[in-house]
């Protein structure tokens, strides 16, 4: 018996955790990994109950940014991929409103899972954010909400879908398209994507699926939710100890910095 035996489905046993090297290779090649039905139905139900009970305190944000999530650079045309404005609207519950006893925190703090993530990502350790808000977040997308095209700032993102909407809310992505062979940003390719000239990859996810992806090289978005509600938990780690999320990001997504 270990710290997450009661949480994970049978497939995620010791054999699975011993296969991190294999999954690491797949992640490197594909840029994305999905572990289907990662948690038991019972745990999933409790997570949704918790998400519903804390939702009245969620902060509704609306943010605008370019796909690089960097300030506008007027050395490029204002309507170029470098500067074009994307939009995200969602509600979010920060870490300090999630119970320490919850299954979400047990997964996040599990030494077994963290060790597996480290092997997967080829890092020696993973640390929580040093602020109280940013490590585990519950994100709610209601009809009309979406996550616009962007590259992440962090090397990787780990998510757990706990509720899926019934229409819309599709995760779309392009793997490893960010840079040209000479290492410079491939704005032209991104522009074709934004102009809908290239068909994106689609990753369908079911409730209870854990997903890991390399979001700083992969352009990705979630299309508008049309019907129902999508609830996505993000498990956010750092390679270094003692690093907070920027004050600006905390203000944007949580409406406060502490
Ligand atoms: Fe992202």
Report pLDDT digits (tens) over 35-44: 999 999 999 9
Task: Compute, in angstroms, the gap from residue 25 CA to the centroid of ligand 1.
Answer: 21
Mean of pLDDT over the chain: 95
- Checking if the pLDDT of 1 tops 60, the result is no
pLDDT more than 90, % of the chain: 95
Between the two ends of the chain, the Cα-to-Cα distance in Å is 36
8 A C-beta contact, residue 176 and residue 30 = no
Task: Compute, in angstroms, the gap from residue 159 CA to the centroid of ligand 1.
Answer: 10
Q: Is residue 127 part of a domain?
A: yes
Task: Compute, in angstroms, the gap from residue 28 CA to the centroid of ligand 1.
Answer: 17
Give the mean pLDDT of 77-93.
96
Task: Compute, in angstroms, the gap from residue 52 CA to the centroid of ligand 1.
Answer: 23
Task: Compute, in angstroms, the gap from residue 215 CA to the centroid of ligand 1.
Answer: 6
Task: Compute, in angstroms, the gap from residue 132 CA to the centroid of ligand 1.
Answer: 21
Q: In CATH, what number is assigned to the domain containing residue 154?
A: 2.60.120.620
pLDDT more than 70, % of the chain: 99
Give the mean pLDDT of 81-98.
97
Task: Compute, in angstroms, the gap from residue 162 CA to the centroid of ligand 1.
Answer: 17
- Bridge partner list, 228: none
| Strands of 66-208, DSSP E | 86-93, 136-141, 146-150, 157-163, 167-168, 171-174, 201-203
Q: Is residue 52 part of a domain?
A: yes
The pLDDT of residue 92 is: 98
Q: Is residue 29 part of a domain?
A: yes
Task: Compute, in angstroms, the gap from residue 10 CA to the centroid of ligand 1.
Answer: 29
**Total domain count, the chain:** 1
Task: Compute, in angstroms, the gap from residue 156 CA to the centroid of ligand 1.
Answer: 9
Task: Compute, in angstroms, the gap from residue 69 CA to the centroid of ligand 1.
Answer: 10
Task: Compute, in angstroms, the gap from residue 45 CA to the centroid of ligand 1.
Answer: 25
Q: Is residue 47 part of a domain?
A: yes
Q: Is residue 3 part of a domain?
A: no
Report pLDDT digits (tens) over 222-242: 999 999 999 999 999 999 999
**What domain range includes position 77?**
14-254
Helices (H), 31-162: 41-54, 103-109, 111-121
8 A C-beta contact, residue 107 and residue 113 = yes
Task: Compute, in angstroms, the gap from residue 55 CA to the centroid of ligand 1.
Answer: 22
Nearest to 48 by CA among 78, 111, 93: 93
Q: Is residue 60 part of a domain?
A: yes
The pLDDT of residue 3 is: 78
8 A C-beta contact, residue 38 and residue 12 = yes
Give the mean pLDDT of 62-83.
95
The pLDDT of residue 153 is: 86
* Residue in the block written with tokens 């990662």: 38
Give the mean pLDDT of 231-257.
96
Number of Cβ within a 10 Å radius of residue 184: 9
8 A C-beta contact, residue 133 and residue 250 = yes
pLDDT band at residue 154, thresholds of 50, 70 and 90? Answer: confident
Tokens of 104: 């979400």
pLDDT band at residue 2, thresholds of 50, 70 and 90? Answer: low
Task: Compute, in angstroms, the gap from residue 19 CA to the centroid of ligand 1.
Answer: 26
Task: Compute, in angstroms, the gap from residue 213 CA to the centroid of ligand 1.
Answer: 9
* Cα–Cα distance, 144 to 148 (Å, whole number): 12
Q: Is residue 68 part of a domain?
A: yes
Q: Is residue 230 part of a domain?
A: yes
Task: Compute, in angstroms, the gap from residue 222 CA to the centroid of ligand 1.
Answer: 9
Task: Compute, in angstroms, the gap from residue 150 CA to the centroid of ligand 1.
Answer: 6
């Amino acid at each position: 018996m270990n710290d997450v035996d009661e949480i994970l489905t049978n497939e995620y046993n010791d054999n699975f955790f011993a296969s991190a090297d294999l999954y690491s290779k797949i992640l490197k090649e594909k840029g994305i990994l999905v572990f289907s039905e990662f948690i038991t139905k019972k745990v999933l139900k409790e997570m949704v109950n918790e998400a519903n009970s804390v939702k009245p305190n969620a902060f509704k944000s609306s943010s605008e940014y370019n796909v690089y999530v960097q300030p506008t650079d007027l050395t490029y045309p204002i309507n170029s991929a470098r500067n074009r404005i994307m939009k995200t609207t969602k509600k979010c519950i920060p870490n300090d409103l999630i119970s320490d006893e919850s299954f979400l925190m047990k997964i996040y703090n599990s030494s077994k899972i963290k060790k597996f993530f480290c092997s997967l990502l080829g890092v020696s350790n993973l640390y929580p954010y040093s602020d109280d808000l940013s490590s585990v977040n519950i994100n709610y997308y209601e009809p009309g909400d979406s996550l616009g095209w962007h590259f992440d700032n962090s090397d990787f993102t780990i998510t757990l879908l706990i509720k899926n909407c019934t229409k819309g809310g599709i995760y779309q992505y392009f793997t490893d398209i960010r840079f040209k062979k000479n290492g410079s940003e491939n704005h032209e390719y991104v522009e074709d994507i934004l102009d809908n000239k290239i068909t994106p990859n689609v990753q369908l996810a079911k409730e209870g699926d854990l997903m890991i992806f390399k979001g700083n090289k992969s352009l990705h978005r979630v299309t508008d939710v049309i019907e129902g509600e999508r609830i996505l938990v993000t498990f956010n780690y750092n390679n270094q100890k003692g690093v907070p999320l920027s004050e600006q990001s905390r203000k944007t997504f949580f409406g406060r910095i502490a």
